[in-house]
Structures are given as structure tokens and as C-alpha cells.
Amino acid sequence: MQTLLDVILPVFLVIGSGYFAVWRGLFPVAGVDGVLRFAQSFAVPCLLFQAISKLDLSSAFDAPLLISFYTAAAVCFTLGILGARFFFKRDWEDCVVIGFCALFSNTVLLGLPISERAFGPDGLAGNYMIIAMHSPFCYGLGIAVMEFVRNRGKSKAALARSIINAMFHNPLVIGIMLGFAVNLSGVALPLVIDDAVSLIVRAALPAALFALGGVLIQHKPEGDMKAIAMVCALSLLIHPAIVWGMGKGFGVPSDLFHSGVLTAAMAPGFNAYIFANIYGRARRIAASSALIATAASILTVWMWLALLG
């Protein structure tokens, strides 16, 4: 329990500082929007670019692990969309954002440090396999479905153009693609550029978390608690349970199995709110789900660690 508090409490302190600053008038709402735009359009794309450009893609990927994790993620995405539509009567665009919240686990900010403390630095191979595909898979799926929903009724050619245009104009996707391009080409970035990117990257998570705190005071979860509870259940319980069942069925090696289940048990990441903010839909649910699920994960992650033994 203390280990989880050591990892999660600093996250809450940064979020809380943004909330307090806006609440007490120490930081303007317009300033929060500026910080969020910086994080969304510059800092987080640089983070994704640098992380993917330096990943060891030559390492052998375990297909059963990846199939288990991403099949479970896609199932939760689908359940989130259908639940939001048929139980909570939300617009389809809102439904896609709510489903995305259940799709996008916080694999880096929470998943890596908790897994490292639980299994040691030598037990993170599974985490890195998942992280290498996480943003491309989740954003690719989320953007494709959102553009399909927004452009339903159009011809297939027009729909394809809308999806491609949205993906190639999304700063996060651009950062991911550039990261893969640098990685696969083997071209080393000049040190001065790499240092500059590193400076921006160091600001990414603090800026994103501070902005999330400032956003929360603008988007209180009034009337949305059932939808938020659904996202929390899908993220913290259903996703890891499906990975557990499929991993056992596929015979995933124990070290990779542990990484897969624990990573699936993470709360929605801040990227869920970034996705909601890009489309201007269900932002209140996305922001509150990330916060409440992160708090609830103190207990649920402890439960999954106990089950993993």
C-alpha cells in the first residue's frame, strides 16, 4: 500500500495544485487552456516521439501477450461505447470518448513505476512491448471510430479521407509516426536537437497534470457519476480480468503475464482527456474518470498484485 501511495500521491499533488490555483484565482482559466494546448500539441507529442524513437523494436515481441492486452482493450472500448449509448443515452460522439477512456490505460505514468516496484527493473519487458504499440493502437482506433461516427452517411471515399486527414493532422499521431520513422531508419538525432526535445519532454507530464487539475474545477462530475463508475469498472476490473483469462489460455510466460495484467489494471491516462478535448466531447467524464479511477486504483491494483502473488 505504501508503495502505491509513493507513486500515486505525487500525481495527485500536481493535479491538486492546478485545481487549487484556479479555484483561488491564482491562475486564470485562460492560462489553463494555454497550458493544456502546450501539453496536447507540443509536450506530449514530443514525449511520445522520444519514447518510441528510443524503444528497442528489435526485441522479440510476444504475440500472445499483445493479442491478450489489445483484444481486452478493444472489448472495453466497445463496451464503453455501447454502455454510454444504451444505458446513459449519450450522443455517439460522447460515446466514443467515453469508450476511449476505458481503452487508454495509464501505461507510463502509473504502469511502469508500479510494475518496476512490484517485479523489479528486469521484469519490465512486457511493459515495453505494450507501450511500443499503445499510443498508435489506441489513437488509431479512437480517431478512426470517431471520424466514422462524425461522418456517417458520407461515401466511403469521403469517410476514408476524413479519417486520414484527422490522423495526419493530430499532433499526437504525428509524434508517434515520427518516432517510428527515426527508430526504424536508424538515424541518430543531433545531440542539440535531442537535448531540446528532452527539455520539452520534462515539462510534458507536470504540465498535463497541472492542466487536468485546472480543468476539473470547470467540469464537475455532477450527473455523470454512473458513466464515470462504468469507465472505472471497465478500466480497473474488466480489462485486467480479460487479459488474465486470455493470457492463461494462450500460455503467456509468467513474467510477461504479470506485466500484462498489471498494466491493464491501470487507470485511464491523461491522454483520455486530451482525446476528449480534441473533439470537445464528454470532457467532464474524461477528466473525472482519470482522477477517480487513479484514486480507486490504490485498492484495485493492490488486489491484482495480491492475486498475481
pLDDT at position 224 is 87
CB contact at 8 A, 231 and 101: yes
Question: Could you tell me the residue range of the domain that residue 231 belongs to?
Answer: 2-55+62-308
Q: Residue 7 — pLDDT band, cuts 50, 70, 90?
A: low
Q: Residue 211 — pLDDT band, cuts 50, 70, 90?
A: confident
Residue type, 272: A
Residue 257 zone, left/alpha/beta (φ > 0; ψ -120 to 50; rest): alpha
Counting the structural domains of the chain, the total is 1
Rounded distance between C-alpha atoms, residue 81 and residue 93, angstroms: 9
Q: Which residue has the higher pLDDT, 253 or 164?
A: 253
Q: What is the DSSP string of 183-211?
A: HHHTPPPPHHHHHHHHHHHHHHHHHHHHH
Is residue 180 scored above 90 in pLDDT? no
Count of residues in the chain: 309
Phi (first) and psi of residue 129, to 5 degrees: -60, -45
pTM: 0.81
Is residue 60 scored above 60 in pLDDT? no
CA separation (Å) from 89 to 23, 92, 95, 234?
A: 32, 9, 9, 18
Q: Which residue has the higher pLDDT, 78 or 44?
A: 78
CATH value at residue 202: 1.20.1530.20
If DSSP codes are grouped into helix, strand and coil, which group holds residue 105? strand
Q: Which residue has the higher pLDDT, 105 or 133?
A: 105
CB contact at 8 A, 241 and 69: no
Q: Which grid coordinates are listed for 219?
A: 467540469
Contacts of 145 (CB under 8 A, 6+ apart): 77, 81, 96, 99
Contacts 24+ apart (CB under 8 A), 34-39: 35/207, 35/210, 35/211, 35/214, 36/208, 36/211, 36/214, 36/215, 36/277, 38/203, 38/207, 39/204, 39/207, 39/208, 39/211, 39/274
Q: Which residue has the higher pLDDT, 126 or 223?
A: 126
pLDDT tens for 147-178 read 889 887 777 777 778 777 777 777 878 888 89
pLDDT at position 199 is 94
Phi (first) and psi of residue 180, to 5 degrees: -65, -40
Is residue 1 scored above 70 in pLDDT? no
Buried b vs exposed e over 128-154: b needs ≥16 C-beta within 10 Å?
bbbbbebbbbbbbbbbbbbbbbbbeee
Query: Which residue intervals of 217-251 are DSSP H helices?
Result: 225-233, 239-250
Is residue 121 scored above 60 in pLDDT? yes
pLDDT at position 215 is 80
CB contact at 8 A, 98 and 282: yes
Q: Residue 4 — pLDDT band, cuts 50, 70, 90?
A: low
pLDDT at position 213 is 83
Average pLDDT for 239-248:
98
Rounded distance between C-alpha atoms, residue 245 and residue 243, angstroms: 6
